[in-house]
Amino acid sequence: MIPYQLQGSPPVSRRKEDPMDGRRVPEQGRDPATSGHGQGLKTEPCFQRDPLLSSPGASLVSQLLSHTVVSRSLDPCTLFPSSRPVGLPQGYELGAPPAEGAQALALPRTRALAPVSGAGDRESLSDEHLRAKRARVESIIQGMSLPPTPQAPGTGVEGGVGQDREKGGEMSWEGRRKPRVPQPQRGAGVAGRGAPSGGSPHAAGCQQLKEQLCFLEQQLRWLQERFSQVCDPGDTAQPLGGAELAGKAGDRPGRDGAAAARRPHKAAPWGSSPGADGPEGTQEDEGMQEDTGGLPSVARVLSQALKHELAGVTSRVVDSVLTSVWPKAAGHLLQQHPGPGAAARGEHFPAGKCRKPLAKSSPVGALGSPPPEAASLPSGNSLDPHGSSFSPTALRNPHQAHGVGYTLGSAVPSAQEGRLLGQLLGYGHWGSPPAPQRCPPEAPDPHWGAPRLRPSAVRQQRCPLPLGPGEAEGDGAPFTPTHEALTPGHLKKAKLMFFFTRYPSSALLRSYFLDVQFSRCITSQLIKWFSNFREFYYIQVEKFARQALLEGVADAGALRVSRDSELFRALNTHYNKGNDFQVPGRFLEVASLTLREFFSAVRAGKDADPSWKKPIYKIISKLDSHIPEVFKAVGCSQELLRS
DNA sequence: CGCCCGCCTG
DNA sequence: CAGGCGGGCG
């Protein structure tokens, strides 16, 4: 009726927001060197600016070890007793074969925790092992996340850094990103940049691993958290069906209920009032309360199983990292897997103007470059939503640390890592069989990530340790064909990706949907999807912004999107139905900013201008962050459906 | 001209 | 979500 006429009527045809002039603005975020297209397009070499990477391979490891400022109670020395990073005296078997290497490192830690140095009864030490391994992963991740810090293993710097991290959540969002942004190519005089920019060979791999680890850790904790919620007797009187619960926990009152319980106030729709926040803070490591004698046997079993699996996987991840980060030690083992998988998948690119095989340009890698304009963020208080057990660094880094465009070699981290990580996340099947994989055959990987995504596995109550012969690889062909059309699984994946990127370029899409036979049609569809996602997103945000305004909110800065806010729930249920994915904190920041922008704009009456949203879109378009490589996992799309 | 964005409609 | 449309950009 009216609509049509309005639409056509020239006068003030509604609000004809034109696409932002910076059309390619979105690309900006992807192009580390520039914010437009100015100079460097695919300038691979230039991006290796990450401070951490700028140090020679050897010292890289040193840093990993020396920066071991573990969260509370963990003493670096405990983790790495005699192993002195820098010199690495009697070559602490860092490069030792995977499994063993891990053990070697783990033991000391274990001993520290349990004087019962008895390496015999592993069963009873499982917990310690788990913790130890987790601690190690954390420390490594944290270490990698930390600034270059001149080779000062045990200097006081550590302490300072550590504390800083503690406050990580308080640093302003822009403050965290900004630093690296302005950095031109050739290291300016920035202090931290002192380190030479050597060891670029492993740089790429390292960066990716770092990034993936961060992401991985988040997901792991997420899993654990959810797991414990499921098993927690107190968590509503849900029948201990563990498995089934897991699947629904998300939508159902189960989780939300629990959350609500923790935060009764259920603040205003637009978010919780400042100060009154500390989301997961309370139940911190609910997972830590583990073996509480209270857990029903079934739960206990599940708990144990999960712990064991976690331990194993964690251990492997660590090995993987060490191996990649410190190839020298890894001996021949290392072999810079340029990703045969990548090559193999490259063929998926149809003719036309498809980008070159991932092998080089990797628009993806170029991604994550921190938006220069991030400064525009009015966001005063940056949040780190969950000041909980999460190591702040782990949370704040995945999106900024990756910053520099690494990725020169394989855009795909190496089928191996991809696999491991992917499986950890439950994206179990892999179409990339090639992977020269070094994963120990006995690796329980195949089952990993299953706990929640594949209830059946849990239900069977497989024996804790290794793999349950039951469904070994059995289900489904390991080969994922390249789809001609987009499937529901792809849609789901796209939605999750939206949490990282609102304005993906077609190139990026192509690089993340490797199991799809791209065509103009497919590409358009994907782009359309994101367009739709955006539409929904902006509509929601605007709605809440207006609501906040009506409710008398005065300061835009008070607006915040927390995991408890209605807005978040609205968005989450649309992009993350089932709630089986931990929404990256960064998304909350972006959403918060969007909310504030809308709020301010509306309050200022700018909405009178037909294209008042344009500026906002422009801002938001610059906030895309790098999408975890895991999403490239072939089969990921399919697996997602099952969850 | 193709690509993509955003809006609107179904 | 998908179509269709107008529109800006390279």
Query: Which protein residue lies nearest to nucleotide C7, measured between its Cα and the C1' atom?
Result: A18
Closest CA to A250 of A639, A625, A563, A532: A563
A6 touches strand B (CB under 7 A): yes
CATH superfamily of A488-638: Homeo-prospero domain (1.10.10.500)
Question: pLDDT tier at A483 (50, 70, 90 boundaries)?
Answer: confident
A186-224 burial code (b ≥16 CB/10 A, e <16) = ebeeeebbebebbbbebbbbbbbbbbbbbbbbbbbbbbb
List strand B contacts in A 496-515 (CB < 7 A). 503, 505-506
Tokens of A55: 């140090």
- The residues close to strand C, meaning Cβ under 7 A, are A 16, 18-19, 21, 23-24, 486, 491, 494-495, 525, 528-529, 532
Q: Rounded to 10 degrees, what is the CA torsion of A599, A604, A610, A615? A: -60
Tokens of A357: 């095989």
Query: Which protein residue lies nearest to nucleotide C9, measured between its Cα and the C1' atom?
Result: A23
- Separation between Cα atoms, residue A638 and residue A641, nearest integer Å: 5
Question: pLDDT tier at A311 (50, 70, 90 boundaries)?
Answer: low
Alpha-carbon radius of gyration of chain A: 24
pLDDT digits (tens, 9 = 90+) for A108-130: 232 322 233 333 344 344 454 55
pLDDT at A543 over 50: yes
Q: Give percent of chain A above pLDDT 70.
A: 27
List strand B contacts in A 401-440 (CB < 7 A). none
Residues 6+ apart with CB under 8 A from A632: A411, A412, A418, A511, A512, A514
A524 touches strand B (CB under 7 A): yes
pLDDT at A486 over 80: yes
> Where on strand B do bases come within 7 A of a protein Cβ?
3-10
- How distant is C1' of C4 from CA of A566, in Å? 33
- Separation between Cα atoms, residue A489 and residue A476, nearest integer Å: 15
SS3 content of chain A, % helix, strand, coil (to 5): 55, 0, 45
Question: pLDDT tier at A634 (50, 70, 90 boundaries)?
Answer: confident
- Separation between Cα atoms, residue A55 and residue A64, nearest integer Å: 11
Q: Where are the alpha helices (DSSP H) in A178-242?
A: 200-231
CB of A429 closer than 8 Å to CB of A641: no
- Averaged confidence pLDDT in chain A: 50
pLDDT at A537 over 80: yes
> Where on strand C do bases come within 7 A of a protein Cβ?
1-3, 6-10
Indicate yes or no: pTM above 0.85: no
The nucleotide whose C1' lies nearest the CA of A492 is C1
Which three-class secondary structure string do you get for A144-186? HHCCCCCCCCCCCHHHHHHHHHHHHHHCCHHHHHHHHCCCCCC
Mean pLDDT for A329-348 is 30
Closest CA to A344 of A28, A616, A642, A634: A634
